Amino acid sequence: MKSDQLGSGDEPWVAGAFVENPFRDDAVKQELLDGTPEAVLDDIGDHHLFDFEMLESYDELYCEFKSHHPASEDHDYEMQAASISALERVFGWQSSANVSISARYL
């Protein structure tokens, strides 16, 4: 919950959650790779921007929701998609890769 996301009556809102790491599932990992353009995968591999072993080492990952809801509302959540993209060097920082998980509440 984010305390700075206050609604009427200063009620806290849910802005994200820790989720079981979906990348420990080989099928999810393969779907991520299959859905990523070859050029992006080549760029990530050529520049050693991403380490799947490190990602798989986490039990849970934080997923920030695009839509927030009051904490008093009880919702179930589902993962919709995962994507990976290469991020170009900015202001002298080393290039990296970004993995995004999109989820929604039901």
- Average pLDDT, whole number, for the chain? 76
The region, left, alpha or beta by phi > 0 then psi within -120 to 50, assigned to residue 31 is: alpha
Return the pLDDT at 3: 47
Residue 48 has pLDDT above 80, yes or no: no
Mean pLDDT of 26-45: 80
Is residue 29 helix, strand or coil?
A: helix
Q: Which two tokens stand for residue 99?
A: 């993995």
DSSP line for 40-80: HHHHHHHTT---HHHHHT-SEEEEEEEEEEETTS---EEEE
Q: In this structure, what DSSP letter does residue 35 have?
A: T
- For residue 40, give its domain range: 2-105
Return the pLDDT at 1: 46
What is the domain count for the chain? 1
CA distance 68 to 71: 9
In this predicted structure, which of 19-28, 35-44, 45-54 has the lowest mean pLDDT?
A: 45-54
Question: For residue range 80-106, what is the model confidence (pLDDT) as tens digits?
Answer: 777 777 666 666 555 566 777 777 777
Mean pLDDT of 36-64: 78
Return the pLDDT at 99: 73
Question: For residue range 11-22, what is the model confidence (pLDDT) as tens digits?
Answer: 899 888 888 888
